[in-house]
């Protein structure tokens, strides 16, 4: 359950960005969370709301985009996504499959309005 | 309403600190490894048997993380190498700031004096310098959260004991994905279990085809030699790179 400290890191950035833009109010922050990032989106949302409540940033929304895991065949370089466990490349049937992309943990954007 | 693109890592501050630590380790020829596993996979015991086998003149140190207690540090201090306990005070992982703080402290800091919730106990019995050849970090027992935090290490090492399920790499792919080495521990128990080693290896490779895998029993010593050699080879590579950089800098300077 490290989502609370992740939420804290997001808020640190929002604070810093708000300080740089005194005429604006941040109303929403967008975050991208990969399936392999080790971060649970629900727990992050919960922790974020708990931290924001009652602070000068309140109300501030968090929008989480969950990025699914990608697979890449190391033989034919075919990129594909799969809901279920896969053991072979759907194109060339090679068992050499790499997991790719799912460890994203990014602040994507801020939505601001004039004060 | 206006949307401003930001595109930065959520943990950019942690990553910045970790990069600084990594640069410092490389400059000093320090091999830093970050041991991660579920609670009870045998991290502390493996470290005890590792310290026992290290050359006593080696400049090695241990940072061990736990939510509460100094128990692990007390166990690890018996081998003559300096050990510092990081007590996270509730946090389920170590982060780069804790490592930085632990490496810089020469005196104990009372929890009241430190703004953070975590605290670092001083090394006892052996002097604490910065010129380590080997820095072993034992993370908090947790297979999920530590995977998100870069500590400036050269390699994350994941431990999985044979009393756990073979499908652990599929259930917790993140840490296997990010680790350079998997240590399958407690192999002396295999005769009493129905653990399928080849299935465990296959599952780990599914999460990370490049992962190296070693089997060890810290209790009987089987496989410990290969593990010690792995550390030694990595240490020599780090030192070789440092000497290469020094030679290059000297050549450029003349």
Q: B124 is written with which tokens?
A: 């006892």
Could you tell me if residue A74 is inside a domain? yes
Interaxial angle between packed helices B12-28 and A3-20, expressed in degrees from 0 to 180 and rounded to the nearest 10? 100
Residue B1 belongs to some domain of the structure: no
Give residue for tokens 């109303």: A27
> Which one of A10, A74, A102 has the shortest CB-CB distance to B209?
A74
Note the pLDDT of residue B22.
94
Rg of chain B taking only CA atoms, in angstroms:
19
Residue A17 lies in a domain: no
- H-helix segments, B11-70: 12-28, 43-53
In this predicted model, what pLDDT tens digit does every residue of A62-103 receive, in sequence order? 999 988 878 888 889 888 877 666 778 888 988 887 777 777
Q: Which domain holds residue A48?
A: 3-10+31-114
Interface check for B4 against chain A (CB to CB < 8 A): the answer is yes
- Does B162 reside within a domain? yes
> Within a domain: residue A37?
yes
Q: From the CA of A22, how many Å to the nearest CA of chain B? A: 15
Are the C-beta atoms of A54 and A42 separated by less than 8 Å?
no
Q: Is B178 on the interface with A (CB under 8 A)?
A: yes
Distance CA B244, CA A83 (A): 46
Q: Which residues of B touch A36 (CB under 8 A)?
A: 173-174, 177
A65 within a domain of the structure (yes/no):
yes
Q: How many angstroms separate the CA of residue B160 from the nearest CA in chain A?
A: 17
B5 within domain boundaries: no
Kind and range of the H or E run holding A31: strand A24-34
pLDDT score of B127: 58
Side-chain half-sphere of B250: how many Cα atoms within 13 Å?
A: 6
Residue A86 tokens read as 């896969």
| A10: confidence class by pLDDT, cuts 50, 70, 90 | very high
Residue B228's pLDDT is 98
CATH code of the domain containing B55: 3.40.50.300
| DSSP type of residue A45 | H
Minimum distance, in Å, between the CA of residue A78 and any CA atom of chain B: 16
Q: What is the pLDDT of residue B123?
A: 61
In a domain, B2, yes or no: no
**A15 and chain B: CB distance < 8 Å anywhere?**
no
Let me know if residue B10 belongs to a domain.
Answer: no
- List, in sequence order, every beta strand (DSSP E) within chain B: 2-9, 31-36, 60-66, 83-87, 119-120, 134-138, 155-161, 181-185, 212-215
| pLDDT for res A53 | 92
Residue A38 contacts residue B145 (beta carbons within 8 Å): yes
CA neighbours within 13 Å on the CB side: how many for A37? 24
Q: Does A63 contact B at CB distance below 8 Å?
A: no
Q: Judged by CB atoms within 8 Å, which residues 200-229 of B form the interface with A?
A: 206-209
- Beta strand extents in B139-203 (DSSP E only): 155-161, 181-185
Examine residue B30 and state whether it is found in any structural domain, yes or no.
Answer: yes
CB neighbours (10 Å) of residue A60? 23
Asked if the structure places residue B126 within a domain, the reply is yes
* Predicted local distance difference test score (pLDDT) of residue B109: 47
Q: If you average pLDDT over every residue of chain A, what do you get?
A: 87
CB spacing of B93 vs A2 below 8 angstroms: yes
Q: Give me the number of domains chain B comprises.
A: 1
Q: What domain count does chain A have?
A: 1
CA nearest to A99, candidates B147, B211, B198: B211
Q: Nearest chain B residue to A97 by CA: give it.
A: B206
The SS3 of residue B29 is coil
Chain B residues with CB under 8 Å of A103 CB are: 174, 177-178
Facing residues of B185 across strands? B161
Burial class (CB in 10 A: 0-12, 13-18, 19+), B82: buried
pLDDT of residue B233: 96
**Domain-located, residue B148:** yes
CA distance B191 to chain A (A): 29
- The residues of chain B scoring below 70 in pLDDT are 105-117, 122-130, 253-254
Assign 3-state DSSP to chain B and report helix, strand, coil percentages, each to 5. 40, 20, 40
Q: What would the two tokens of residue B93 be? A: 């992982």
* Domain annotation covers residue A59: yes
| Full residue range of the structural domain in which residue B156 is found | 19-231
Chain segment B88-116, per-residue pLDDT in tens = 887 889 999 899 888 875 444 444 434 46
């Amino acid at each position: 359950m490290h989502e609370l400290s992740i939420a804290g890191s997001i808020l640190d950035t929002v604070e810093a960005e708000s300080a740089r833009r005194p005429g604006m109010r941040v109303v929403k922050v967008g975050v991208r969370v990969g399936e392999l990032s080790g971060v649970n989106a629900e727990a992050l949302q919960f922790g974020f709301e708990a931290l924001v409540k009652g602070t000068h940033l309140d109300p501030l929304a968090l929008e989480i985009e969950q990025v699914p895991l990608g697979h890449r065949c190391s033989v034919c370089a075919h990129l594909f996504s799969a809901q279920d466990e896969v053991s072979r490349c759907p194109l060339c049937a090679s068992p050499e499959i790499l997991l790719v992309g799912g460890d994203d943990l990014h602040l994507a954007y801020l939505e601001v309005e004039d004060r | 309403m206006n949307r401003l693109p930001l595109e930065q890592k959520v943990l950019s501050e942690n990553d910045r600190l970790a990069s600084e630590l990594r640069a410092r380790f490389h400059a000093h020829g320090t091999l830093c490894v970050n041991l991660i596993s579920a609670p009870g996979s045998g991290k502390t015991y493996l470290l005890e048997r590792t310290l026992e086998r290290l050359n006593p003149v080696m400049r090695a140190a241990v940072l061990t993380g736990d939510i509460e207690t100094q128990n692990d540090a007390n166990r690890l201090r018996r081998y003559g190498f300096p050990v510092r306990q990081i007590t996270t005070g509730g946090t389920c992982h170590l982060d780069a700031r804790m490592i930085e703080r632990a490496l810089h402290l020469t005196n104990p800091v009372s929890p009241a004096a430190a703004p953070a919730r975590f605290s670092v106990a001083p090394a006892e019995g052996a002097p604490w310098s910065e010129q380590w050849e080997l820095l072993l970090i034992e993370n908090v027992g947790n297979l999920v959260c530590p995977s998100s935090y870069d500590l400036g290490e050269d390699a994350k090492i994941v431990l999985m004991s044979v009393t756990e399920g073979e499908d652990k790499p599929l259930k917790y792919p993140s840490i296997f994905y990010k680790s350079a080495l998997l240590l399958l521990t407690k192999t002396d128990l295999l005769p009493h279990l129905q653990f399928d080693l080849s299935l465990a290896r296959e599952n780990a490779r599914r999460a990370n085809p490049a992962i190296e895998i070693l089997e060890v029993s810290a209790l009987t010593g089987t496989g410990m030699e290969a593990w010690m050699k792995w550390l030694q080879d990595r240490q020599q590579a780090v030192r070789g790179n440092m000497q290469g950089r020094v030679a290059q800098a000297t050549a450029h300077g003349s």
